[in-house]
């Protein structure tokens, strides 16, 4: 009988004589001459069948405590932790609507060893047939919680995506979703305090439990008037109702966060590029900062 079978046949149940069932779904152990380390999925039930405890029991036992002094432990699987994967050097491009992020991404996606991850706008525009982006623009008070919840979810997905390249270049980040866009809705009285609290808790949980690291933020700085002109020129259906006041508010929040750090701290160094210029001049400014953006971490450049 294997070590795992012996546990399942009742040796664990002996420790809980007052209960009806002790179920051990998985057993792993590391064996040496002194002790055995156990990680056991257990479920404890009363005689009436009600679950009292359900979870993971971890303990360290001497072999003789289980009557296994003379047993062969070759059949026991030794638990081992997976090796942590090397974090990719991640650059987030931030800025107002119409500041030049798409132009920036198109410019750098041709660079060696770079993979670009644009905002998942198509996902926002089709959530089982619902255009959540359009709904949010048309009625922010009604749809801001639903939209920003989905934005945070999709941004976590972007942060978590694996890349075969040395550098991940992402359009916006979980940070700007919370510090600029959610914050703007709340300060503009377009989001109730309870919705703001829920999104804040969601954000805090993600930060505590997921890897959202960013190594460099590139802030494309442009005036609200410049952004409005570009929005009108590209003529995206969902953005036609965006007022200049909204762009000004977002501009102020980006400045407060990335320049002045009045309320929220930046997670990494910030490189500012002014994009109040025409397209050709913008390309020149990107080219001037190319080494600063791509070579900051030389280990990832092959």
Catalytic residue list: 171
Specify whether the CB–CB gap between 253 and 179 falls below 8 A: yes
**301, 294 Cβ separation under 8 angstroms:** yes
Structure tokens at 131: 């255009």
50 with 100: CB under 8 angstroms?
no
For residues 239-260, one letter each, b for 16 or more C-beta atoms within 10 angstroms of the residue's C-beta and e for the rest, the string is beebeeebbbbbbbbbebbbee
CA 206-242-229 angle, 5° bins: 115
The 3-state secondary structure of 168-236 reads EEEECCHHHHHHHHHHHHHHCCCCCHHHHHHHHHHHHHHHHHCCCCCCEEEEEECCHHHHHHHHHHHCC
The helix or strand, by DSSP H or E, that contains position 55, with its residue range, turns out to be strand 51-61
Q: What is the DSSP letter of 79?
A: P
Q: What are phi and psi of 54, to 5 degrees?
A: -140, 120
């Amino acid at each position: 009988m294997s070590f795992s079978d012996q546990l399942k046949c009742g040796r664990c149940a002996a420790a809980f004589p007052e209960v009806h069932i002790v179920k051990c779904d998985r057993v792993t152990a590391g064996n040496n001459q002194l002790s055995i380390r156990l990680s056991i999925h257990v479920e404890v039930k009363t005689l009436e069948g009600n679950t009292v405890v359900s979870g993971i029991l971890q303990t360290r036992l001497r072999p003789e405590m289980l009557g296994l002094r003379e047993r062969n432990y070759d059949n026991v699987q030794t638990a081992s932790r997976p090796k942590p994967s090397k974090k990719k050097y991640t650059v987030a491009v931030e800025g107002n609507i119409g500041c030049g992020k798409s132009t920036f991404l198109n410019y750098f996606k041709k660079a060696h060893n770079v993979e670009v991850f644009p905002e998942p706008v198509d996902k926002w525009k089709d959530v089982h047939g619902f255009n959540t982006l359009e709904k949010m623009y048309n009625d922010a008070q009604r749809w801001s919680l639903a939209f920003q919840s989905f934005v945070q979810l999709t941004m976590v997905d972007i942060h978590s995506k694996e890349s075969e390249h040395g550098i991940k270049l992402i359009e916006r980040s979980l940070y700007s979703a919370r510090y600029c866009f959610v914050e703007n809705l709340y300060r503009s009285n377009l989001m109730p305090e309870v919705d703001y609290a829920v999104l804040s808790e969601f954000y805090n949980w993600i930060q505590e439990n997921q890897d959202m690291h960013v190594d460099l933020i590139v802030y494309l700085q442009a005036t609200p008037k410049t952004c409005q002109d570009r929005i009108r020129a590209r003529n995206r259906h969902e953005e036609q109702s965006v007022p200049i006041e909204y762009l000004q508010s977002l501009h102020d929040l980006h400045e407060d966060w990335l320049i002045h750090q009045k309320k929220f701290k930046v997670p990494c160094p910030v490189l500012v590029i002014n994009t109040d210029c025409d397209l050709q001049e913008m390309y020149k400014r990107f080219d001037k900062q190319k080494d600063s953006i791509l070579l900051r971490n030389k280990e990832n450049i092959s």
